[in-house]
């Protein structure tokens, strides 16, 4: 029997619940179902958290004495998994180490040259199931690795050899689902963040993205698999978040409606926060109305920038800013309280600080409940930006994951200013809903350009009173830019949610606007009262404990909803 260990090292994005990486479980199910004879392999998936040390991971692998180790390599675990492979190869020279995943598929030879302890890499990012099954079947049949398809392998004389592409289609039937077969355990009393895949691929080819690999052809999984998975996931009280990993779940409208309506029939759908990437072009009135009935659902759109040159540089099929505006306005007409989230990227090639400010001004008119500002942009192997990084005059950190630190049009000091603005905007338009309501209300009377001017005025004034950034160098990194960024940002946001800073936010905005006769002035005064109370009592203002410890008179004068709105929604 061949013993295999697979490592599932989750992402270090700040998610509270337990995350399970889909790929290792999907590949294990596929091999177990399709390699003959049945029982010829024993596969263990080892779940490891994002902060596990390479030595620690290696130790848990050694306990199984495997013949083959399979690594699912992403930007967030590349450094750790390569280090772990090095340790294991030293300990077990005979161990075959196989890697796959988006961080190694597109640059397999480059990775294998740099990491001589990796024996095999699967080079087709969308066909891992077939490639892994074929490789394991070769080993079970006693054949040489060179007969396996879709891989680069290291020959005995240390040459790197690429084998032919893997053919045949993947069976995405319910039998291949790691949820339906109970491979992914959700009944363990933990809160879960679940990812679900109902299709693979993306018809577009944005310059920074490797979603769906190099194939533009879409692969739709049978709808009955998606429906069954939804029943399992949305009927489990441990599931807190669901992320659909489809590039645009609404691509086939009839299919999307079937899936969305099915979610609404499940027991806990009202409690589960669900995210899907959507393309505004697929939205119509019927879909908007259905999506709006999913209470914990937000519509997030990847606008990225409104700078025409930068949009053109991403992809010529990119949806224009005016089209996004048109659609968002229609959606708000159909469902007035709809929540819109907008994704922006800081420092895209051909963008400038001025362009970033215009983008913000434009977005403020759409009144998103949240901005997702991607920083730092990483140059991902397999993308056009990666291939053309020097031609595009990008300045980036030298080793993987390569962060874009500046461009000729977006120099470092501008990047710092953009990050400063982005951090404050996240605080002011998302973390404090009362401030956000106030800001958007004030913007409604403003012309183009004036919305950003108001925000800039706020942030400059607040910055002169709060030393939010202190010695933190937001745009400088030592080793792992994405990891370091999340840590820095988390610390800043926590500080921005302290009673002391919150009081300054409310008092600054109140002083500026107290003569405006805004209907939201009452909320600003409440904010001042609440945070002055917390300061006087040296209390931590985050979470339910703080809310319930406010004296009774607050609840006599204000509604619970008003009190909740002045608080920060920050969660560690």
Interacting partner of 204 out of ligand SF4, ligand B12, none (Cβ under 5 to 8 A depending on kind): ligand SF4
What CA dihedral angle connects 244, 248, 253 and 259, to 10 degrees? 0
Tokens of 465: 């009173």
Among 101, 128, 302, 433, binds ligand SF4 (CB under 6 A): 302
Total residues contacting ligand B12 by CB under 6 A comes to 43
**Can residue 249 be called a binding residue for ligand SF4 (CB under 6 A)?**
no
Is 127 among the residues that bind ligand B12 (CB under 6 A)? yes
Query: If DSSP codes are grouped into helix, strand and coil, which group holds residue 348?
Result: coil
Provide the mask over 162-201, with x wherever binding to ligand SF4 is found by CB under 6 A and - wherever it is not: ----------------------------------------
Q: Is 482 in the site for ligand B12 (CB under 6 A)?
A: yes
Count, residues near ligand SF4 per rule CB under 6 A: 8
197 binds ligand B12 (CB under 6 A): yes
Q: Which is nearer to ligand SF4, 205 or 382 (CB)?
A: 205
Candidates 98, 249, 421, 427: give the one binding ligand B12 (CB under 6 A).
98
User: CA nearest 14: which of 202, 237, 241, 205?
Assistant: 241
Least distance to ligand SF4, CB of residue 315, Å: 6
Position 247 contacts ligand SF4 (CB under 6 A)? yes
User: Out of ligand B12, ligand SF4, none, which partner does residue 19 contact, by CB within 5 to 8 A per kind?
Assistant: ligand B12
Nearest alpha carbon to residue 246 among 226, 267, 232, 231: 226
Closest CB to ligand B12 belongs to which residue?
Answer: 128
Return d(Cα 424, Cα 430) in angstroms, integer. 10
Contact call for residues 458 and 428 (beta carbons, < 8 A): yes
Tell me whether residue 328 or residue 546 sits nearer to ligand SF4 (CB atom): 328
Query: Applying CB under 6 A, does 52 fall inside the site for ligand B12?
Result: no
133/513 with CB nearer ligand B12: 133
How far are the Cα atoms of 118, 407, 519 from residue 391, in angstroms, in the given order? 31, 11, 52
Residues contacting residue 470 through CB under 8 Å, at least 6 positions apart: none
The count of C-alpha atoms lying within 13 angstroms of the C-alpha of 84, restricted to the half-sphere facing its C-beta, is 29
Interaction of residue 279 with ligand B12, rule CB under 6 A: no
Among 9, 69, 111, 209, binds ligand SF4 (CB under 6 A): 209
Is there binding between residue 221 and ligand B12 (CB under 6 A)? no
Instruction: Give the CA angle between residues 32, 38, 43 to the nearest 5°.
Output: 40
State in Å, rounded, how far the first CA of the chain is from the last one: 45
Q: Are 263 and 294 in contact (CB under 8 A)?
A: yes
Beta strands of 434-476 (E only): which ranges? none
Among candidate residues 232, 369, 353, 362, the one with its CA nearest the CA of residue 297 = 369
Work out whether 19 is an interface residue with ligand B12 (CB under 6 A).
yes
CB of 276 to ligand B12, least distance (A): 10
Nearer to ligand SF4, 95 or 348 (CB): 348
Asked if 33 touches ligand B12 (CB under 6 A), the answer is no
Residue 193, strand partner residues: 19, 241
Contact 96, 4 (CB under 8 A): no
| 211 touches ligand B12 (CB under 6 A) | yes
**Segment interacting with ligand SF4, rule: CB under 6 A, options 169-177, 206-214, 401-409, 492-500:** 206-214
Residue 19 DSSP label: E
The DSSP 8-state label assigned to residue 225 in this structure reads: H
Q: How far is the CB of 222 from ligand SF4 (least distance, A)?
A: 22
Smallest Cα–Cα separation from 240: which of 15, 430, 570, 76? 15
Residue 206 interacting partner from ligand B12, ligand SF4, none (CB closer than 5 to 8 Å by kind): ligand SF4
414 binds, options ligand B12, ligand SF4, none, Cβ within 5 to 8 A by partner type: none
> CB under 5 to 8 A by kind: which of ligand SF4, ligand B12, none does 302 bind?
ligand SF4
Among 8, 88, 206, 342, binds ligand SF4 (CB under 6 A): 206
| Smallest separation, CB 304 to ligand SF4 (Å) | 8
Considering the complex, state which of residue 296 and residue 446 has its C-beta at the smaller distance from ligand B12.
Answer: 296
> Token pair of 165, please?
């592409």
Among ligand B12, ligand SF4, none, what binds residue 72 when CB lies within 5 to 8 Å by partner kind? ligand B12
Minimum distance of ligand SF4 from residue 64's CB (angstroms): 36
Report CA-CA distances (Å) from 379 to 14, 349, 382, 402, 528.
21, 11, 9, 5, 44
x/- map, 61-80, ligand B12, by CB under 6 A? ---------x-x-xxx----
Minimum distance from CB of 211 to ligand SF4 (Å)? 4
Q: According to CB under 6 A, which one of 202, 311, 338, 455 is a site residue for ligand SF4?
A: 202
Q: Which among 242, 375, 369, 237 has a CA at the least distance from the CA of 304?
A: 375
Alpha helices per DSSP H over 303-352? 308-314, 321-334
Residue placing its CB nearer to ligand B12 in the complex, 98 or 313? 98
The answer to whether residue 178 forms part of the interface with ligand B12 (CB under 6 A) is: no
CB of 333 to ligand B12, least distance (A): 31
Give, in degrees to the nearest 5, the angle at Cα 473 between 472 and 474. Answer: 100
> Residue 68 is inside which H or E element, if any?
strand 68-72
Q: What whole-number distance in Å separates Cα of residue 197 and Cα of residue 475?
A: 34
Q: Is 26 in the site for ligand B12 (CB under 6 A)?
A: yes
Give the Cα separation of 496 and 570 in Å (integer).
9
Token code pair at residue 205: 């080819």
**Residue written as tokens 């089209």?**
323
CB 131 within 8 A of CB 153: no
Q: Is 429 in the site for ligand B12 (CB under 6 A)?
A: no
Nearer to ligand B12 among residue 139 and residue 434 (C-beta): 139
Q: Which does 131 bind (CB under 5 to 8 A by kind): ligand SF4, ligand B12, none?
A: ligand B12
In this structure, are residues 512 and 518 in contact, taking their beta carbons and an 8 Å threshold?
no
- The closest alpha carbon to 91, from 120, 73, 71, 117, belongs to 117
Residues at the interface with ligand SF4 (CB under 6 A): 202, 204-206, 209, 211, 247, 302
Residues at the interface with ligand B12 (CB under 6 A): 10-13, 19-23, 26-27, 70, 72, 74-76, 98-103, 105, 122, 125-129, 131-132, 195, 197, 209-211, 243, 245, 374, 378, 380, 482-483
């Amino acid at each position: 029997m061949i013993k295999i260990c697979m490592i599932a090292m989750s992402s270090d994005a700040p998610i509270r619940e337990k995350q399970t990486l889909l790929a290792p479980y999907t590949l294990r199910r596929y091999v177990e179902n399709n390699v003959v004879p049945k029982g010829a392999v024993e596969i263990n998936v080892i779940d490891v958290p994002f902060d596990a040390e390479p030595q620690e991971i290696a130790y848990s692998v050694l306990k199984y004495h495997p013949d083959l180790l399979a690594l699912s390599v992403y930007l967030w675990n590349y450094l750790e998994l390569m280090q772990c492979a090095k340790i294991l190869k030293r300990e077990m020279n005979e161990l075959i180490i196989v890697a796959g995943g988006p961080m190694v598929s597109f640059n397999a030879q480059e990775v294998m040259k740099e990491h001589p302890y990796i024996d095999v890499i699967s080079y087709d990012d969308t066909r891992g199931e077939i490639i892994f099954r074929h490789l394991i079947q070769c080993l079970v049949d006693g054949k040489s690795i060179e007969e396996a398809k879709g891989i680069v392998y290291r020959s005995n004389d240390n040459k790197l050899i690429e084998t032919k592409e893997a053919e045949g289609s993947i069976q995405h039937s319910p039998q291949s689902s790691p949820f339906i077969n109970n491979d992914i355990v959700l009944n363990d009393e933990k809160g879960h963040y679940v990812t679900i895949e109902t299709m693979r691929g993306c018809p577009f080819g944005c310059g920074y993205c490797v979603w769906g690999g190099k194939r533009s052809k879409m692969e739709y999984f049978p709808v009955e698999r998606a429906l069954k998975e939804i029943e399992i996931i949305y009927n489990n009280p441990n599931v807190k978040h669901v992320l659909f990993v489809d590039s645009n779940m609404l691509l086939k409208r009839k299919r999307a409606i079937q899936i969305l309506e099915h979610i609404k029939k499940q027991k806990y759908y009202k409690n589960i926060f669900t995210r899907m990437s959507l393309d505004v072009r697929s939205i119509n009135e019927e879909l908007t109305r259905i999506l709006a009935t999913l209470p914990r659902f937000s519509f997030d759109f990847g606008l990225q920038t409104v700078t025409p040159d930068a949009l053109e540089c991403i992809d010529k099929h990119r949806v224009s800013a005016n089209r996004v505006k048109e659609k968002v306005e229609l959606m708000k007409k159909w469902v007035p309280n709809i929540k819109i989230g907008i994704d922006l990227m800081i420092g895209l090639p051909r963008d400038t600080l001025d362009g970033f400010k215009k983008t913000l001004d434009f977005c403020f008119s759409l009144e998103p409940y949240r901005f997702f500002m991607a920083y730092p942009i990483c140059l991902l192997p397999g993308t056009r930006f990666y291939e053309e990084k020097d031609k595009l005059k990008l300045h980036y950190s030298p080793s993987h994951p390569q962060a874009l630190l500046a461009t000729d049009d977006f120099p470092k000091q501008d990047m710092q200013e953009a990050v400063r603005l982005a951090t404050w905007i996240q605080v002011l338009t998302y973390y404090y809903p009362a401030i956000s309501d106030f800001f958007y209300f004030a913007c409604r009377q403003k012309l183009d350009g004036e919305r950003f001017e108001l925000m800039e005025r706020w942030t400059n004034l607040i910055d002169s009173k709060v030393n939010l950034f202190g010695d933190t160098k937001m745009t400088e990194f030592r080793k792992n830019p994405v990891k370091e960024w999340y840590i820095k940002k988390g610390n800043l946001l926590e500080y921005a949610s302290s009673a002391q800073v919150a009081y300054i936010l409310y008092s600054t905005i109140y002083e500026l606007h107290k003569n405006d006769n805004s209907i939201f002035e009452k909320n600003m005064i409440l904010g001042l009262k609440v945070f002055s109370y917390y300061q006087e009592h040296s209390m931590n203002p985050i979470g339910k404990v703080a809310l319930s410890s406010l004296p009774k008179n607050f609840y006599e004068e204000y509604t619970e909803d008003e009190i909740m709105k002045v608080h920060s929604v920050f969660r560690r």
